[in-house]
Chains A and B, each alone.
Chain A
Amino acid sequence: MDAATLTGLLWEGLLQTLYMTIIATLVAYIIGLPIGVSLIVTSPNGIKPIGWYNKVMGFIVNVIRSVPFLILMIALMPYIRKLIGTGIGTSATTAALIVAAAPFVARMVEQSLLEVDPGVVEAAQSMGASNMQIIRKVMLLEARPSLLNGAAVATITILGYSAMAGSIGGGGLGDIAIRYGLHRFQPAIMWITVIVLVILVQIMQEIGIKVAAKLDNRIN
């Protein structure tokens, strides 16, 4: 394989990986953020404790999180095929990534919101803030640095999942690494994709840390 073909192959894989990771992370947050917030709000010490909801939702989140991603993806394949017409490739992988990542994101968000000082929430309540105002203006804002750090971790985890999906024809850099490295005995290509993945993770982590620090008003 000449350099131009290899570059083209890697470029395509990189774009696919980025596409899967970014779309899956965004949608996972659209689903997982409200779930994470709801877990905090309805907990026994929350601003609106709802015991049964908290237990049921916590259980669902735990069940999905305990299934290894590859198994979850295989299990979901028939449903995804029904839904979008195909069980493999980037779109199918993205769909599976969303299902796997949403509960993970929910727990990350829950952890971040746990760090919010209950005293500040109490102060807002004493001012007559509604629960919605407390969530939007107190919890999410006060936890912003932690939420952003969590988002970096979540994105990197989803990137890792997407690479794993390569082993069952998921597309992206992971797919390339497995096809060339494992099936065609071309370890050099495998290592190159690994290096690209490492660089990608580094960049994401750095961005996460920088943005979180920049938007944290506790230390300047």
Chain B
Amino acid sequence: MSEHIISLQGVTKEFDTKGGKVVALKDINLDIDEGDSYGIIGLSGAGKSTLVRTINLLEQPTEGKVLFDGENLTGLRSKDLNLKRRKISMIFQQFNLLMQRDAIGNICFPLELAGVPRADAEKKALELLKVVDLEDRAHSYPSQLSGGQKQRVAIARALASDPEVILCDEATSALDPKTTRAILALLKKINEERGITLVVITHEMDVIKQLCKKVAVIEGGEIVESGKVTDIFAQPKTQAARRLFFPDEQKMELENRGKTSTKNRLRIVYDGRSAYDPTIANMIMELRAPVNILYANMDVVGDEQKGQMVICLADDEKIADKQKKYLKEHGVNFTEIKEEEE
């Protein structure tokens, strides 16, 4: 199917507050394909939570269309919308489980809403508990479960209605790093094995790196950059993307402000294969000109190993040009870092 499973077209959301109108989303255009694991990253207040809520119309957009499987959801009557919502599950930062129901009861809940007979619902819930590795806690109440276990129940609940999409709203932000990795691995497995499309809202780049293939960077209610995670990681076009993808660089820049030259700075991103070629060392020896290494780091993006390095070339423009040429000839991808305009 070539059609996008989710397509936001010109979505704008305004809130009326006491202080006047606040524009939370500005002309958002976003296409998500079936089977994607699509990340939406932004700092708090960027509008990402509002954005994800427009997909299942928990937030009614002020303007624009929300297409799901090619059908415009904004025009539907609430009864029809509720039927569509069963195909778009959602998991939350605070899990949002029913405190008065045990794990099985929570997983059965969406099935109960859909009128599935109790026995069938319970059978399915038990199977889903196995999927999320929690068979032994079927009759535990949320208050008896850890954060990670609660999110597993929430994921099983999200799977119960056989959704096409799962929206993850900061699903791991309340969890410790180890539990976060386990939950992300589970979501990845669900995406890969069941072909369920994931839309992942987060402020953490690690979540995007581990889970997503595509990403949209949102800032001030606008999508400023979007595409494959590996592409944006290699060459972020906007300040916003750079800030999110390379937070260490920001820190480094602050610490080194005034101490090092800001001229001729490059960011080099290389993948696992070229990581071991001593290109920089060779360049220094061949051109007999120094290079200052300001920062270097290895990262795993998706399943690929990616390294990045920030170097400072010679102050002399002529030598710097030679160095750039050398790098290009040796197939090293780099972007020049311009002085921040602040």
Contact partner of B82 among A128, A137, A218, CB < 8 A?
A128
Does B179 reach chain A (CB closer than 8 Å)? Answer: no
Are A141 and B96 touching (Cβ within 8 A)? no
Q: Indicate if the CB atoms of B141 and A123 lie closer than 8 Å.
A: no
Say if the beta carbon of B172 comes within 8 Å of chain A.
Answer: no
Q: A137-B109, A218-B143 are in contact. Are A126 and B100 (CB under 8 A)?
A: no
A133 at interface, CB cutoff 8 A:
yes
For A124, the chain B residues whose CB sits under 8 A away are: 109, 113
Query: Count of A-B contacts with CB under 8 A?
Result: 79
A6 is an interface residue with CB less than 8 A from chain B:
no
Name the segment of A88-96, A103-111, A114-122, A149-157 touching the other chain.
A114-122
Within the complex, what minimum Cβ distance (angstroms) separates B141 from chain A?
Answer: 5
User: Least Cβ distance of A113 to chain B in Å?
Assistant: 14
Contacts of B99 in A (CB 8 A): 117, 120, 142, 217-218
A4 lies within 8 A of chain B by Cβ: no
Chain B: CB-nearest residue to A216? B100
Chain B residues 76-99 with CB under 8 Å of chain A are 78-79, 81-86, 88-90, 92, 94, 96-99
- B102: CB under 8 A from chain A? yes
Q: Which of B99, B101, B109, B161 has the most CB of A within 10 A?
A: B99
- CA gap between A135 and B241 in the complex, in Å: 43
Q: Does A201 contact B (CB under 8 A)?
A: no
Residue B10 lies at the interface, judged by CB distance under 8 Å to chain A: no
Cα A50 to Cα B167 with chains together (Å): 29
Interface residues of B in 156-177 (CB under 8 A from A): 161, 167
A126 touches B88 (CB 8 A): yes
A119 near B84 (CB under 8 angstroms)?
no
Out of B78, B84, B101, which one reaches A217, CB within 8 Å?
B101
Chain A: minimal CB distance from B61 (Å): 16
CB 8 Å contact bits of B96-120 with A (1 = contact, 0 = none): 1111111000000110111000000
In the complex, are the beta carbons of B58 and A127 less than 8 A apart? no
- B56 on the A face (CB < 8 A): yes
Name the A residues within 8 Å of B88 (CB-CB): 126
A142 partner residues in chain B, CB cutoff 8 A: 98-100
Please tell me if A220 contacts chain B, counting CB pairs below 8 Å. Answer: yes
A124 to B157, CA, bound (A): 11
- Does B98 contact A127, Cβ atoms closer than 8 Å? no
Closest partner residue, chain A, to B90 (CB atom): A126
Separation of A119 and B53 alpha carbons in the complex (Å): 13
Question: A124 → chain B, closest Cβ, in Å?
Answer: 8
CB distance from A178 to the nearest CB of B (A): 44
Q: Cβ of B82 and Cβ of A129 under 8 Å apart? A: yes
Q: Are A122 and B83 within 8 A (Cβ)?
A: no
Q: Which residue of B lies closest to A142 (CB)?
A: B100
Question: Is A1 at the interface (CB under 8 A from chain B)?
Answer: no
Contact A141 B98 (CB under 8 A): yes
Chain A neighbourhood of B82, CB < 8 A? 128-130
Q: Contact partner of A126 among B58, B79, B97, B114, CB < 8 A?
A: B58
On whether the beta carbons of A127 and B110 are closer than 8 Å, the reply is yes
- List, in ascending order, chain A residues with CB within 8 A of B81's CB: 128
Contacts of A137 in B (CB 8 A): 109, 112-113
A190 CA to B339 CA, complexed, in Å: 88
Q: A125-B58, A127-B110 are in contact. Are A218 and B100 (CB under 8 A)?
A: yes
Contact A218 B141 (CB under 8 A): yes
A103 to B81, CA, bound (A): 35
Smallest Cβ-Cβ distance to A126: which chain B residue: B90
Bound complex: CA A117 to CA B78 (Å): 23
* B96→A123 contact, CB < 8 A: yes
Give bound CA distance, A10 to B98, whole Å: 47
What CA separation (Å) do A122 and B81 show in the bound complex?
15
* Complex alpha-carbon distance, A133 and B86, angstroms: 14
Query: Given the complex, which residues of B lie within 8 Å of A133, measured CB to CB?
Result: 113
Which residues of A sit under 8 angstroms from B98, Cβ to Cβ? 120, 138, 141-142
- 3 nearest A-B residue pairs (beta carbon): A128-B85, A128-B82, A123-B96
**Additional 5 contacts, C-beta under 8 A, given A122-B96, A126-B90, A218-B99:** A126-B56, A130-B82, A138-B98, A141-B98, A217-B99
